[in-house]
Structure 1
């Protein structure tokens, strides 16, 4: 029986990582859980994010996953090390892959990061980037309007353009910055708007490609790569509105998703302390 990869996110943002996983690992089955009912995680307390993340993890562990990808920057910042210590399967976050991609692309070590309040306040990206090279200069900007806008299915048109322009204005004054990390997996959905606003001289980086590459390497190391020739049927679960999730997912993947179900996580008990 095919053992799947589990992907968790606060909502639809992790679909950006999932699309890259499907591209790089076409034989692997994905089981995706988006906690859209309680999205966004960014404004929530660390303890609340940890509790919700553990609830999602317990649900996916019941699906016999072989690898867990925490495709939410806020959840990665607050829970990754705890999950890696507690679980018997490999666990990947999205912050280190995103930071590595930015370091490879930056020419002058002037890097910007946009993300949720939780991710920016955690200092996870500056700590990771400076842990590699202490000379890197990091400018962070919280963008609290982005995730609710994307979850509502607004990621093009005048309204989205206006929100992006207003939100990113403080970063446009950072004249030396040459690389911008999309420090939330929702943001690649509006990457074109961000790129247009920041200008062609800025390299806009998302973590999906690097995260999928890391997943491939880890599965190969553990000799867990799927060898069969049967096309996988991916499964998607959401705690929120199914039709809204389906609409965004179908647009992002450019083809209809086959399996989508609503689930409730509230009755589940968290093991987060």
Structure 2
């Protein structure tokens, strides 16, 4: 097997994996969630890079020729260093891709007013990765940002389904929308946030688009594979999906089914195994 590797700091990346598996069902996939060290959002660049690179190397050892960082924080704080530095000297045919660039390539097309808001973790917002990438493709687009540090724990704890969660959801939406009356598109720049999508829409004017990344990333991956047949031909095709977590598998499986919209059965991998990568 030579599966596509999909990595996230926890379970949020399963929303991206779900879209990828729906659009590209024939390939084999391995998903790795680094739940024992999540969340990544408030950690330093150095720590996020270290953790992400360890997980990427583990996926390479599972014979993945292509790895998707289905995590905005890892894409923002680790991807460039991995691509430009860490992978030097490795098999040049291997690839590691993120979720920020494919989103930045199209997000401007969703806005009529050419003013959008980006909702993300503190790490993603502080990195300004979206501001930089979107500027490359839509230089006239006005981009506003808002960190939503309570949303990930709200989702992972399951508290988002309770009435009291509306207060925390509305609080950050008010903070982003007050930045400009012309914002007509909000990008959910965290893979956990699609689970809040209905509640988010309920607190916004009807004319505001709420854009999740899953379908965007899946379409971009399909296009990438079409443009790189030498890589696409390496990926095995038996339709298998394997799930791994660095934390408790029972807890992972219970929560993961909500994100993946299907039952999930995972296997445990200890972070101590990553030490052999160094």
TM-score over 0.5 for the pair: yes
**1:265 maps to what in 2?**
271
How many residues are treated as equivalent by the alignment?
A: 269
RMSD of the TM alignment (CA)? 2.1
Q: For residue 161 of structure 1, report the CA deviation from its aligned partner.
A: 2.0
Deviations 1:169-218 (A, max 9, x none): 21232311011111111111211111222232111112211211222222
**2:261 maps to what in 1?**
254
Match of 1:192 among 165, 177, 198: 198
Deviations 1:107-165 (A, max 9, x none): 11101001011100011111111122322111100000011121223332313322211
Match of 2:242 among 235, 260, 268: 235
**2:162 maps to what in 1?**
157
Q: 1:150 to 1:270 in 2, by over 3 A?
A: farther
Shift >3 Å, 4+ stretches: 225-230, 269-272
For 1:122-161, list aligned pairs within 5 A. 122-161=127-166
For 1:79-98, list aligned pairs within 5 A. 79-85=78-84, 86=87, 88=92, 89-98=94-103
| Structure 2: distance between partners of 1:44 and 1:106 | 32
Deviations 1:213-261 (A, max 9, x none): 222222223322589874x22111111232222122222333312x411
**2:14 maps to what in 1?**
15
**1:206 maps to what in 2?**
212
| Structure 2: distance between partners of 1:190 and 1:270 | 38
My pick for the range that moved more, 17-26 or 208-217, is 208-217
My pick for the range that moved more, 19-28 or 80-89, is 80-89
Is the contact between residue 11 and residue 151 of structure 1 (CA under 8 Å) also seen in structure 2?
no
Deviations 1:47-67 (A, max 9, x none): 000000011111111110121
My pick for the range that moved more, 64-73 or 215-224, is 215-224
| Structure 1: distance between partners of 2:53 and 2:236 | 31
Q: For residue 34 of structure 1, report the CA deviation from its aligned partner.
A: 0.8
Is the contact between residue 17 and residue 211 of structure 1 (CA under 8 Å) also seen in structure 2?
yes
**2:31 maps to what in 1?**
32
**2:62 maps to what in 1?**
63
Q: Does the residue aligned with 1:269 lie in a helix, a strand or coil?
A: helix
Q: Does 1:180 align with 2:186?
A: yes
Q: 1:73 to 1:227 in 2, by over 3 A?
A: closer
| Structure 1: distance between partners of 2:276 and 2:201 | 39
Unpaired runs of at least 5, structure 1? none
Q: 1:227 to 1:59 in 2, by over 3 A?
A: closer
Q: Does the residue aligned with 1:140 lie in a helix, a strand or coil?
A: strand
Q: 1:73 to 1:254 in 2, by over 3 A?
A: closer
TM-score by length of 1: 0.91
